[in-house]
Amino acid sequence: MDRRSFLGSIGVAAVALQLPRPGTAVAKTTALVTSIAQLQSAINSATAGTTITLANGTYAVSSAITVSGRNGTSSAPITIQAETRGGVTLTGSQSFVMSNSSYITVSGFVFQQTSSFDLPSSCTRIRITRNDFQLGSAASHWLVVRGDDVKVDRNVFHDKSTIGCYLVIDGPSSTVMAKRTYILRNHFRDHSFSGSNGGEPIRLGVSSRALDTAGATVEYNLFERADGDPEGISVKSSGNTIRYNTIRDSLGGIVLRHGNNNRVEGNHLLAGSNGIRIYGNDHLIVNNYLGDLGSAGIVLGSGTVRDHTSDESAESRKGNDAPDRVTIVLNTLRNNAEGVVGESQRTLAPLACRISDNLLVGSSGSLVDMPYLGGITWSGNILWGSASNGNIPSGGFTRADPKLSAGTDGVYRLGTGSAAINATSMNHASRVTDDVDGHARTAPYDVGADEYSTATPVRRPLTAADVGPSAT
């Protein structure tokens, strides 16, 4: 925010404004502060509609900045912001510590603390937006969400080399998830932890909470060089939507590790190591584009347990839940080390799963390697390239040329005369109405993630300009 929008000289200044709203008017105040002490004083007296701006500079925070018992409203939140985006750097052990608050927005800061930024369950409808997270090595997880209806948008998380996650969604108890978290247009990059586990960019739940419906939406986020864990988006809860994200040049993929009824839709996974790996029940995997991955595009896992239950032991809950009633349709898998594969290291096979109307193209290896075939229905898949078919049942595919052509964004789409056009074996209209590019699908649908069109894509793989503090 420009200094000229404030009154007089630098200090604490306030001016009453009016926020029109049908039937009423909400008073708003603005304050510019120049020290942590002034910031704390302004927070302590903040009411709905207050905007507090900390002047640009670097501030060593010797004791936490507390936000306690402060409540804005949906139309008049309490906003705590940097004077300009990225213009305020906070150092020290802690930054903001919140309790019993709602409708608070924190915007524009550079966080360089040595401990996590934790949003407790007593804080709801908090927005963390346009910040730069670069916490110290002593901080395990960088941002932890336990309260409901939190929005985390347009932040950048970067350059972590130690164990721990960039963003963790937990909950108020060991079995309950935070509800309706919205994770939008963030940039997760350069996580270089070299251990085998524990460096996820996003961990959405944990095994003890897996059966609880979180209802989170993770969309339009970019992951680059996210190499801290094979799980880039690690889902360990139920009822979430993971869509329109781009994972590029990363070890991590999208993993439905625990939980049920999650939707993975319209994501681009490009030139990395891992694709989409699935455990649990009733998931939908649709419209995803997976290209040039060093391992399989999609892994339909196996299990040590058939279904998790609320009364099982903690040890059993950590086990892999064999996939039941998982639907994998309308995805494009191109030039990966393998296409669709399974696992043989566990004894419980998938049951009542469907793999239909996907486009699998490869130049080497096998396109399908599924050790357990009995629990899967196959139909309408198109295979192409010099890669072998693998062990896909003969009635579940045709081998035909999809006539793929590379776009300026590197994505291969259907060309004129493609065998995939109007070739689906099923009616998918009840599940999906557009394609990975955001183009409307027209029945009969085309096989794979792309519905043939000469129009400019509405959605493309994301770049750094689409996410982070400066994104629109």
Number of H helices, E strands in the chain: 2, 43
Cα–Cα distance between 266 and 220 in angstroms, integer?
A: 10
In this structure, the number of other CB atoms found within 10 A of the CB of residue 464 comes to 13
Cα–Cα distance between 48 and 178 in angstroms, integer?
A: 24
Separation of first and last alpha carbons in the chain: 16
Cα–Cα distance between 90 and 328 in angstroms, integer?
A: 45
Categorize the per-residue pLDDT at 26 as very low, low, confident or very high, splitting at 50, 70 and 90: low
DSSP 362: -
pLDDT at 7 over 70: no
DSSP 179: P
Domains belonging to the chain, first-starting first, are 1-107 (no CATH), 114-466 (2.160.20.10)
Categorize the per-residue pLDDT at 29 as very low, low, confident or very high, splitting at 50, 70 and 90: confident
The alpha-helical segments, DSSP class H, found in 174-299 are none
pLDDT cut 70: percent of the chain above it: 94
Q: Among candidates 388, 347, 397, which has minimal Cα distance to 369?
A: 388
Query: What single letter denotes the amino acid at residue 143?
Result: L
Question: If you average pLDDT over residues 319-330, what whole number do you get?
Answer: 96
* Residue 469 preceded by cis peptide, ω within 30: no
- Per DSSP, the three-state class of 382 is strand
pLDDT cut 90: percent of the chain above it: 90
pLDDT at 13 over 60: no
Cα–Cα distance between 23 and 189 in angstroms, integer?
A: 46
- DSSP notation for 94-128: --EEEES-BSEEEESEEE--SS-EEE-TT-BS-EE
Beta strands, E only, 137-250: 143-145, 151-153, 156-160, 167-169, 182-184, 187-191, 202-205, 217-219, 222-226, 231-236, 241-243, 246-248
pLDDT digits (tens, 9 = 90+) for 271-320: 999 999 999 999 999 999 999 999 999 999 999 999 999 889 988 999 99
pLDDT digits (tens, 9 = 90+) for 85-109: 999 999 999 999 999 999 999 999 9
- Residue 406 burial by CB count (10 A; 0-12/13-18/19+): exposed, middle or buried? exposed
**pLDDT for residue 28:** 77
More confident: 301 or 31: 301
pLDDT at 472 over 90: yes
